[in-house]
Amino acid sequence: MTLKLQARIPSGPIEQQWSNARFEMKLVNPANKRKYKVIVVGSGLAGGAAAATLAELGYDVACFCFQDSPRRAHSIAAQGGINAAKNYQNDGDSIHRLFYDTVKGGDFRAREANVHRLAEVSVDIIDQCAAMGVPFAREYGGTLANRSFGGAQVSRTFYARGQTGQQLLLGVYSALARQIGVGKVKMFPRTEMLDVVVDPATGRAIGIVVRDLVTGAISSYAAHAVVLATGGYGNAFYLSTNAKGCNVTATYRAYKRGAGFANPCFTQIHPTCIPVSGDYQSKLTLMSESLRNDGRVWVPKSQADIAKHPDQIADEARDYYLERKYPSYGNLSPRDIASRAAKEQCDEGRGIGPGGRGVYLDFRDALRRDGEDKVREKYGNLFDMYERITGENPYKVPMRIYPAVHYTMGGLWVDYHLQTTIPGLFCLGEANFSDHGANRLGASALMQGLADGYFIIPYTLGHYLAGIAAKDLADPASAAFRAVEGEVTARIDKLVAVRGKRSVDSFHKELGLLMWEDCGMARSKQSLSDALSRIPALREEFWRDVTVLGGKDSFNQTLEKAGRVADFLEFAELMCQDALVREESCGGHFRVEHQLEGEAKRDDEKFCHVAVWEHAGDGVAPVRNIEPLTFENVKLATRSYK
């Protein structure tokens, strides 16, 4: 172990740690803030909120995104909602309960102090979003409405129809746009970060190297600190619910420059997605977890019934397996558990639809109980989306769903200040590892993104900047930047020069299928070892036989994809290595060798820690470092939803 993993968890009882930390943190004089340059990469909930808020405080901010506008970041696709411990429903919620649910939901692989802080600031997030005009759902009296989500027995999820992510992101975007309008944020859309620059003398992050996606120009930007909020790496599986552009490049490049990468094998498979329909398929579409409030999940009890029309299968012949297996949480069991249960039914040959890879999500009872109008009001846009994609009307026929890759809990290791192992390089939102352990609960990603961006980084970044002099701004023309620019350019030249026979997508699809089979919902020593031998061969073939048509000095979407797939081809190996060493099952990481009656079996003696991978050079095995986890406020226990 060579990484210094100091989590900087504040002193005192957990309820006071964030408050103590805020008091202990140094401040930057308001008149000096404008002298500090901050780079934010990504404009989703975490990055957009950070850029806007840091600019409101007075810092000189530059924000980068690869989309044509910051309003399009993938946070926009989140459907169901955002959790907050408001206890507006008077149903027993509290900051401590949200903290408890999140630690337990994450199967005891998250850092207690971070999670408690997340629960604390959750209430401020709702206030802030409401003040900015986010059109949350309301009750007739004008107060905010709530609904329930998986892994919780209280109603703490705030929502805006089935478009909560969109509305929260448009709120963030509006705040960001305001700062762009007054010149406090310089926005760089259609610009992709391709590397981070670390000062060889001090070891601090001093800037980034980017490619202008329209002109192809490579250039450098210097700053006093760099904030990465670049999302997750679910597209390592090719098919996922992520947007097509989501990629690991920013965080993986940071890893190669010395930032530790934590728990890369922790990926979330979401139980309710529209099943795969063919090999032309480019992505999978999620059907919000909120549907499980009213939809009941089932498969036929008998294999003989799988081809029958669902209407012809009597209640006695249906297996509502979540209600059967987990009576207290039922259809609202957490995502990892619901996904595995679906796989189990299909593995037993009771799956429905093409290829037997599907289960029913049935609204019959809700439609009978509440009527079509009520159901339409709650879920109308999701039902419409389902019908557009499948051509089937879910008011008449049950939805067919199957698990799909959705979110990645792993990410760059960060301390309590959200700083990576590279000083001056911070990481927020899905891109970091910190709050969700081995499984994220529904409606908690939006909460974490906004917590990090609105309420945490404005404090912790200030503390960092207070420790460095404003005059110490790197020169983007200096040797350190030139060297990285040279490496970035060489890599692009190499990609364009291969001129082989196979398309970028064909490699991405092959990698994705391999990862889904060997490092997906169920993993074994054998499947992972197999993947670890096949990935390097595929990578070698990629660099020998990929074809990237079009030039490098112009708009070239194939080249963009090629760079991202090249990084996935390296990163996938890290995911499998991490999964292989973690000889336990926890949350979304299910090792078939470690189970108890079909449930995940943790090994707290050996694995109650964060695995933090350290790059040791190309072609050299990475080093596995450890941050031990201690549970002082939530008792380490077997997670049960029965």
Partner 1 sequence: MSAAEHALGLTLHIWRQPDRTTPGKMVTYKVSGVSVHASFLEMLDILNEQLTERDEEPVAFDHDCREGICGMCSLMINGRPHGGRPATTTCQLHMRFFRDGDEIWIEPWRAHAFPVIKDLCVDRSSFDRVIAAGGFVTANCGSAADANDILVPKDQADHAMDAAACIGCGACVAACPNGSAMLFVAAKLAHLHHLPQGQPERLHRTQAMVTAMDAAGFGNCSNHYECEAACPKDISRDVIAKLNRDYARAALVSRERDDKSGGSG
Give the catalytic positions in this structure.
335
Q: How far is CA 289 from CA 78, 293, 347, 382, 555, in A?
A: 10, 8, 23, 11, 38
Q: How far is the CB of 67 from partner 1 (least distance, A)?
A: 6
| Span from 278-286, 305-313, 363-371, 565-573 in contact with partner 1 (CB under 8 A) | 278-286
Q: Which of residues 549-588 bind partner 1 (CB under 8 A)?
A: 549-550, 554-555, 557-558
Q: Is residue 124 involved in binding partner 1 (CB under 8 A)?
A: yes
Q: What gap in Å lies between CA 419 and CA 103, rounded to an integer?
A: 21
Angle, CA of 526, 531 and 537, to the nearest 5° = 140
At its nearest, how many Å lie between partner 1 and the CB of residue 584?
Answer: 34
Q: Where are the beta strands (DSSP E) in 322-396?
A: 359-362
Per-residue x/- track, 438-477, partner 1 (CB under 8 A):
----------------xx--x-------------------
Distance CA 420, CA 434 (A): 11
- How far is CA 393 from each of CA 207, 237, 398, rounded to the nearest angstrom? 51, 29, 8
Residue 74 sits in the site that holds partner 1 (CB under 8 A): yes
* Tokens, residue 484: 């990285």
For residue 82, state whether it binds partner 1 (rule: CB under 8 A): no
User: Residue 89, interface with partner 1 (CB under 8 A)?
Assistant: no
**Cβ-based nearer residue to partner 1, 163 or 249:** 163
Among residues 589, 443, 410, the alpha carbon closest in space to that of 119 is found at 443
Closest to partner 1 by CB, 181 or 619: 181
Site for partner 1 in 245-264 (CB under 8 A): 245
Query: Which residues does residue 207 pair with via DSSP β-bridges, in sequence order?
Result: 197, 222
Residue span 344-383 as binding mask against partner 1, x where in contact by CB under 8 A, dash where not: ----------------------------------------
Choosing from 22, 34, 96, 178, the residue that interacts with partner 1 (CB under 8 A) is 178
Which one of residues 94, 503, 524, 595 is an interface residue with partner 1 (CB under 8 A)? 503
Span from 17-25, 240-248, 490-498, 582-590 in contact with partner 1 (CB under 8 A): 240-248
Q: Where does this chain touch partner 1 (CB under 8 A) — which range of 28-36, 61-69, 428-436, 513-521?
A: 61-69
Residue 235 per-residue DSSP state: G
Closer to partner 1 by Cβ: residue 70 or 295: 70
Could you give phi then psi for residue 578, rounded to 5 degrees?
-65, -45
Q: Give, rounded to a whole angstrom, the gap between the first and last alpha carbons of the chain.
A: 40
The span from the CA of 82 to the CA of 155, in Å, is 11
Residue 76 in contact with partner 1, rule: CB under 8 A? yes
Residues 6+ apart with CB under 8 A from 173: 43, 48, 70, 71
Q: In the β-sheet with 191-198, what is the strand arrangement from edge to edge?
A: 191-198, 205-212, 218-222
Are 51 and 40 contacting, i.e. CB atoms less than 8 angstroms apart?
yes
Instruction: Choose which of 309, 368, 388, 642 interacts with partner 1 (CB under 8 A).
Output: 388
Nearer to partner 1, 5 or 77 (CB): 77
Tell whether residue 393 is a contact of partner 1 (CB under 8 A). no
Residues 145-174 that bind partner 1 (CB under 8 A): 160-161, 163, 165-167, 170, 173-174
Pick the closer one to partner 1 by CB: 393 or 526. 393
- 23 scored as a contact of partner 1 (CB under 8 A): no
What's the rounded Cα separation, in Å, for the pair 509 and 278? Answer: 12
Of these, 11, 23, 92, 391, which contacts partner 1 (CB under 8 A)? Answer: 391
Four-point Cα dihedral 238, 240, 241, 242, nearest 10: -40
5, 130, 470, 538: which one contacts partner 1 (CB under 8 A)? 130
Which of the stretches 47-55, 193-201, 325-333, 431-439 binds partner 1 when contact is defined by CB under 8 A?
47-55
Question: What Rg, from alpha-carbon coordinates, does the chain have?
Answer: 24
Q: Nearer to partner 1 by C-beta: 334 or 429?
A: 429
